[in-house]
Structure 1
Amino acid sequence: MPASIIAQMAISGALMGLVYALIAYGFQLTYATSKSLNFGQGELVMVSAFFSLTLLDLGVPYWLMVPGGLVFGALLGLAVERAGVRLALEQRSEGWILLTIILGLFLFSAAENVWGRDDRPFPTPISSDPIHVLGVDVTPLELSVAVGVLAVMALIEVFKRRTLLGKAFEAVSADRDAGELMGISATRTVMLSYALSGTVAALAGILVSPITTVGPTMASALVLKAFSVAVVAGLDSGFGVVLVGVLLGALESLASFYVGSGWREAPGLALLILALAVRPTGVFGKAAIRKV
């Protein structure tokens, strides 16, 4: 088989893998400040995509729909933090696990009742006509996914390292108790992390929907792969999720082409099992040393 075909499949899959990396980055943001995860993150992606589609149907211009969808995602993230996470963290319990799952199921049911069960196309002004770049064909739509993912992750990293609020985020991530002793509100920092996570989820929905369409079931497939990326890379490595996401996307595309579409999910599950068995902290994660 020509190498050009293999390269074509790998690059197309890798660009899709960046979406998994973006959702996995949302897991990292909340885990950093609260050591909690939103297991309804996929539903945030899906509901935000439906909301953004509704804005387009109402005649809102695309350039205005994007910030509107991102704000909606941030508000969803704040709602999850307030309803499903805050009380559990105050009581130092693991109740947030079940509560975020329940909130995700509620959002799934709400989406079915509001927008229906059928998949719907997501219009975009970005062209889907392929262009020839370095021997492979890519579309401006696929390139926009790469640009959007890398840009938002870079902006958040700059925010965390260069702004006063971002430094508070980093302080709570390093040591919550010490941050509170320095006058930093851990509760507000956790709220910020969930708002950023919701924003990231909304952007993922806006970027991936023109490729996959929008439907209530889009969440389940995306969140499983994103969770695999987060665990394999480690829950404290933003650079790692990009590499693992690109690798997983490429492996999925190649597995689907060579073995069959029914085996498309196999690479993600295999990587997840391997990571948990060999290196539970992730390939790029750091082993935590705790004094007893």
Structure 2
Amino acid sequence: MDLRIIGQMAVSGALMGLVYALIAYGFQLTYATSRSLNFGQGELVMVSAFVALTFTDLGLPYGLMVPCALLFGALAGLAVERAAVRLALQQKSEGWIMLTIILGLFLLSASENLWGRDDRPFPTPIPSEAIRVLGIEVTPLELSVAVGALAVMGLIELFKRATLQGKAFEAVSADPEAAELMGISSRRTVMLSYGFSGAVAALAGILVSPITTVGPTMGAVLVLKAFSVAVVAGLDSGFGVVVVGMALGALESLASFYLGSGWREAPGLVLLITTLAARPYGLFGRAIIRKV
């Protein structure tokens, strides 16, 4: 067994796994403030990628297209919070589950009517020629995934720790009722978390599209793996989703290479089932002890 091949497959898979980690981080952002998830997050990734592609087709430079697509993703996230989550949270119901799923299905149907059902290439100025680093070949596209994913997660974490609004984010995450008594608006903080989550979804779409393609079904596969990463890592550990996302990507790549493409999904399922059986709160999560 060639160790160089193992290293090559593991590195390529781990870099792709950072896309799963980025989408999983979006799940964490909304869960922290509202204990809710956007189950249409995959469709948000897909629609944002199509919007970014449309901006590119209209001649918008790449450096301007990216912030415009991120703004669209943030606005879409705010729309999800307003249309599907806010009322359910006010009524203390779980209606946001079905409503976010329905919104996702609506976005899927709308994208098929607007852009068609065929997959389309995503042009990018980032070169695709492989470069060799320590005997392992990586492409600038793969490196851009790592830089973009880690940079945006780092910036959001810095915002949460170094700004007053970020402190409010942490306060609502710890105890919403106590935060309200201190004059912090939980509703505004939940809106912010959904805005961040939408921007993160848009960035994931921009990063992965040049490697794969843009199509109506692209988000479905990504979000299932991202959800597995979020659950396995724990819904309160940003560091955990990075580690688990890279590990899952590497395992998928190795399984596909040595066992066949039909086994590509097996590592994620095994990891998810094993973690839920042994540590339901995640590998990096913390068990919550409630006094009754």
Normalised by the size of structure 1, how large is the TM-score? 0.99
Q: Distance in 2 between matches of 1:235 and 1:180?
A: 23
Letter in 1 for 2:47: V
What's the CA shift for 1:131? 0.3
Partner of 1:285: 285
Aligned-partner SS, 1:210: coil
The secondary structure found in structure 2 opposite 1:183 is coil
Paired residue for 1:8?
A: 8
**Where does residue 47 of structure 1 map in the other structure?**
47
- Secondary structure of the 2:210 match is helix
- Equivalent runs, 1:185-196 vs 2, <5 Å: 185-196=185-196
Partner of residue 21, structure 1: 21
User: How far does residue 265 in structure 1 lie from its aligned partner after superposition?
Assistant: 1.0
State the partner residue of 1:248. 248
Q: Does 1:214 align with 2:214?
A: yes
Cα distance in structure 2, aligned partners of 1:113 and 1:267: 35
Using the TM superposition, give the Cα deviation of residue 274 of structure 1 relative to its aligned residue in structure 2, in angstroms: 1.2
Residue 239 of structure 1 corresponds to which residue in structure 2?
Answer: 239
CA deviations over 1:39-95 (Å, ceiling 9, x no partner): 000011000000000000000000000000000000110010000000000000000
RMSD: 0.5
2:178 is aligned with 1:169: no
After superposition, what is the alpha-carbon deviation per residue over 1:149-197, rounded to whole angstroms, capped at 9, x for unaligned?
Answer: 0000000000000001100000000000000000000000000000000
Return the letter of the residue paired with 1:35: R
Please state how far the C-alpha of 1:284 moved relative to its aligned partner.
0.4
Question: Which amino acid in 1 is paired with 2:69?
Answer: G
Structure 2 residue identity aligned to 1:251: L
* Cα distance in structure 2, aligned partners of 1:103 and 1:267: 30
Write out per-residue CA displacement over residues 100-137 of structure 1, whole angstroms, 9 at most, x where no aligned residue. Answer: 01110100111101000000000000000000001100
Partner Cα separation in structure 2 for residue 47 and residue 23 of structure 1: 14
Structure 2 Cα separation of the partners of residues 290 and 6 of structure 1 = 45
Tell me which moved more, 16-25 or 261-270: 261-270
Q: What is the match of residue 197 of structure 2?
A: 197
Quote the Cα distance in structure 1 between the aligned partners of 2:187 and 2:227: 25
Structure 2 unaligned residues grouped into runs of 5+ = none
State how far apart, in whole Å, the 2-side matches of 1:4 and 1:109 are.
44
What's the offset of the Cα at 1:273?
1.2
Structure 2 residue 128 is the aligned partner of structure 1 residue 128: yes
Task: Tell me the equivalent position of 2:66.
Answer: 66
Return the letter of the residue paired with 2:86.
R
**Residue in structure 1 matched with residue 179 of structure 2 by the alignment:** 179
Residues 98-117 of structure 1: matches in 2 within 5 Å? 98-117=98-117
Q: CA deviation at 1:15?
A: 0.1
Unaligned stretches of 5+ in structure 1? Answer: none
Cα distance in 2 for partners of 1:169, 1:213 equals 35
Aligned-residue identity in percent: 80
- Distance (Å, rounded) in 2 between the aligned partners of 1:276 and 1:109: 33
Distance 2:83 2:110 in 1: 16
Distance 1:189 1:44 in 2: 20
Distance across 2 between alignment mates of 1:147 and 1:57? 25
User: C-alpha distance in 1, partners of 2:99/2:267?
Assistant: 29
In structure 2, C-alpha distance between the alignment counterparts of 1:268 and 1:158, rounded to whole Å:
30
Q: Return the letter of the residue paired with 2:41.
A: Q
- After TM superposition, the score normalised by the length of structure 2 is 0.99
Q: Distance in 1 between matches of 2:249 and 2:4?
A: 17
Corresponding residue pairs, total: 292
Deviation at 1:271, TM superposition (A): 1.1
